[in-house]
Structure 1
Amino acid sequence: MSDIPTHLNLQGQSFLKESDYTQEDLNRLIDMAIDLKQQKQDGEPHNYLQNKNIALIFEKSSTRTRAAFTVAANDLGANVEYLNKNDLQLGQKESIRDTALVLGRLFDGIAYRGFAHTNVETLAKYGGIPVWNGLTNEWHPTQSLADFMTIKEHFNTLEDLTVTYLGDGRNNVARSLMIAAAILGVNIRICAPTALQPDTETIELARQFAEQHDSEVSIMTDPHSAVKQADVLYTDVLVSMGEEEHFEERLDMLQAYQVNDELLQATGKNDTIFLHCLPAFHNTETTYGQEIAQKYGIEEMEVTDQVFYSDSSKVFDQAENRLHTIKAVILATMG
């Protein structure tokens, strides 16, 4: 087993949103994740956190986040207890503060995936142990860390790159991507209809970081202009969890933002990659996709099947990297 990485001084800290961290912090977490990925591929044990116990509090369903936290903790030697919304009285018969005070005495770390960002902040404030945000309505920092790890693996650098996000610019993925890019010095373009653009406060915060790190933040409405010379095209589902009643409206607003071969070619580059946080609705191989096809006559939504499975698509590298970046976050804050 290799020596425990010591180049990060984040022990005892929580990982709630990107803006809490410096460019150096995020870069080092990415580099640590790349090192840990290599250790796993080489079959090298790295169970640095034996006898530690981690709680996973999940109020929202999950595939990648839950699996990544579970495998990451197991690889590091820690024990995991999964707690869904029916296992806890979180905010119902017991306050989040009281829950934090209890769990902080029983566990060594808490992963939270849920709704209001104030919930994860309360857990972190009163738990007395590291708390990691696996997704809230406002932020998705473990996702953006995996995104930029994937980008760095492909291009061997983050310098002088441009990422274009197309779709709902208000959601947690877009907001986290924008802030993380600005901190890391990556040019970021959010391309969305005017009604679905990020809030002014988040744009201003991103531009403050971008000014510090010599990058640009652009808010655009025209997809073909937004993708020119972009190194990365990124999209997400048309309708976020909890907003399904707006599906038809979003479909009308976002059809022109679909990532297809024409849009990929419009970048003018041969090495542009495609990213998606998943799940993606690119065919009718799911019951959801079949229902949408029957109701609206659409078989591909935010991305076409051709692009999703193309050589340009790095979505499954990106999904795997959720494991390695989450492992880096756990180790850096608990190690």
Structure 2
Amino acid sequence: MNAPLSFLKEVDFSKEELLELIDLSLHFKQLKKEKTPHHYLEGLNIALIFEKTSTRTRSAFTVAGQDLGMQVTYLGSDEIQLGRKESVADTAKVLGSMFDGIEYRGFKQEDVETLARYAGVPVWNGLTDTWHPTQMIADFMTLKEVFGSLEGLHIAYVGDGRNNVAHSLLVTAAILGVNITIIAPASLQPEKEIVALAEQHNNGALIKITDELEAVEGADMLYTDVWVSMGEEIDFKERIDLLLPYQINAELLAKTGKTNTVVMHCLPAFHDRKTEIGLSLYEKYGLAELEITDDIFQKHSPIIFQEAENRLHSIKAIMYYSLKEG
């Protein structure tokens, strides 16, 4: 596999390379299940830069690094000078001289690209406002586990079509040749340049962008995400009113016309009042469920949490391919 040194966005990879990463992820999952040691990168050190908070990404990179035999150092946004007292380029040069790889989870795609340009070591995009590439390897790995193959699948994303997850899902599906429909209000559909990238890298996928909920018909999988991304400043009531018709619920699921359609969510999910934010939203707007109803979430939770676990195995695969010798 001739993968790019860093893992910054999906369009840097071919269909064959992404499929190899998915298969390697499945291999690492089996090793983990069997409790077979795989300290293939013993003696290496990696740094994890987090400008945005995280549960799955931080946990996955930490455990994946340790499973591979590496030492892992966490660098929170309030602990380093990235972009404040020291430029991103200068920070990249410093960290690149001390670490063998760097993960970045933050806001600007430009920052992770700059880190990769100047660090001299592999850089992995744990999430930016534009892309969420490590999530995609886990997602399509999960789809392969559930359906046995990606061939002929039709997936539909419902909700905010302009966020990083929707962008990555659209482009990755196109690269892999998986039919994809993005269903979102006109004002929240993917930007033209993102759609153009998907078309440019398309390997036979049927791509549809629409605001019509009936477009879920025939979908093998429905996908959604939170309606407000981290750091986004908007009128939340206005966003809720706009997206509430796009909630994944029993009625929408029935529109697929299939009995075996699965639901996926990259988490966290606002499906009940059991979080501080969920409770505050309920008290303010009277809604206990947002992008997905609790009954649908619970019914499909085995796959949703399988998807979450797969962040570990997919990130392990990504780091291994960047750092292995030869």
User: Shorter-normalised TM-score: what interval?
Assistant: over 0.9
Deviations 1:16-40 (CA, angstroms, capped at 9, x unpaired): 0000000000000000000000000
Secondary structure in structure 1 of the residue aligned to 2:175: helix
Q: Which amino acid aligns with 1:220?
A: T
Deviations 1:80-120 (CA, angstroms, capped at 9, x unpaired): 00001111110111111010111111000000000100100
* Shift, 1:313, TM fit: 5.6
Q: Would you say 1:220 and 2:213 are equivalent positions? A: no
Any residues of structure 2 matched to 1:201-212 within 5 Å, and which?
201-210=193-202
Contact 1:166 1:257 (C-alpha < 8 Å) held by counterparts: yes
* Shift, 1:238, TM fit: 1.1
Moved more, 263-272 or 115-124: 263-272
Given the alignment, which residue of 274, 277, 300 partners 1:285? 274
Secondary structure in structure 2 of the residue aligned to 1:319: helix
Work out the CA distance in 2 between the residues paired with 1:312 and 1:297. 24
Q: Which amino acid aligns with 2:223?
A: Y
Contact 1:273 1:312 (C-alpha < 8 Å) held by counterparts: no
Q: Would you say 1:80 and 2:80 are equivalent positions? A: no
Query: Kindly tell me: are residues 82 and 20 of structure 1, through their superposed partners in 2, closer, same or farther at Cα, counting changes over 3 Å?
Result: same
Other-structure match for 1:35: 27
Contact 1:274 1:313 (C-alpha < 8 Å) held by counterparts: no
Contact 1:55 1:80 (C-alpha < 8 Å) held by counterparts: yes
What is the TM-score with the length of structure 1 in the denominator?
0.95
Work out the CA distance in 2 between the residues paired with 1:91 and 1:214. 41
Any residues of structure 2 matched to 1:89-238 within 5 Å, and which?
89-210=81-202, 213-223=203-213, 225-238=214-227
Work out the CA distance in 1 between the residues paired with 2:232 and 2:112. 21
* Shift, 1:243, TM fit: 2.0
Query: Kindly tell me: are residues 310 and 196 of structure 1, through their superposed partners in 2, closer, same or farther at Cα, counting changes over 3 Å?
Result: same
Other-structure match for 1:256: 245
Secondary structure in structure 1 of the residue aligned to 2:74: strand
Other-structure match for 1:305: 294
Moved more, 312-321 or 171-180: 312-321
Deviations 1:193-215 (CA, angstroms, capped at 9, x unpaired): 000000001111112222xx111
Other-structure match for 1:271: 260
Secondary structure in structure 1 of the residue aligned to 2:322: helix
Report runs of 4+ in structure 1 exceeding 4 Å deviation: none
Deviations 1:34-88 (CA, angstroms, capped at 9, x unpaired): 0000000001011101010000000000000000000000000000000011111
Work out the CA distance in 1 between the residues paired with 2:33 and 2:258. 31
Instruction: Report sequence identity in percent.
Output: 56
Q: Would you say 1:296 and 2:288 are equivalent positions? A: no
* Shift, 1:249, TM fit: 1.1
Q: Would you say 1:54 and 2:46 are equivalent positions? A: yes
Q: Which amino acid aligns with 2:46?
A: I
Contact 1:170 1:198 (C-alpha < 8 Å) held by counterparts: yes
Q: CA RMSD in A?
A: 1.0
* Shift, 1:244, TM fit: 4.7
Gaps of 5+ in 2: none
Contact 2:170 2:180 (C-alpha < 8 Å) held by counterparts: yes
Moved more, 303-312 or 111-120: 303-312
Secondary structure in structure 1 of the residue aligned to 2:172: helix
Contact 2:181 2:215 (C-alpha < 8 Å) held by counterparts: yes
Secondary structure in structure 1 of the residue aligned to 2:252: helix
Work out the CA distance in 1 between the residues paired with 2:83 and 2:253. 45
Work out the CA distance in 2 between the residues paired with 1:24 and 1:157. 14
Work out the CA distance in 2 between the residues paired with 1:313 and 1:70. 23
Deviations 1:102-143 (CA, angstroms, capped at 9, x unpaired): 111100000000010010000000000000000001000001
Deviations 1:172-218 (CA, angstroms, capped at 9, x unpaired): 000000000000000110000000000001111112222xx111110
Contact 2:263 2:300 (C-alpha < 8 Å) held by counterparts: no
Other-structure match for 2:236: 247
Contact 2:174 2:180 (C-alpha < 8 Å) held by counterparts: yes
Secondary structure in structure 1 of the residue aligned to 2:234: helix
Given the alignment, which residue of 18, 29, 40 partners 1:26? 18
Q: Would you say 1:319 and 2:308 are equivalent positions? A: yes
Work out the CA distance in 1 between the residues paired with 2:229 and 2:77. 19
Contact 1:15 1:133 (C-alpha < 8 Å) held by counterparts: yes
Work out the CA distance in 1 between the residues paired with 2:293 and 2:223. 13
Secondary structure in structure 2 of the residue aligned to 1:163: strand
For these two proteins, the number of residue pairs brought into alignment is: 324
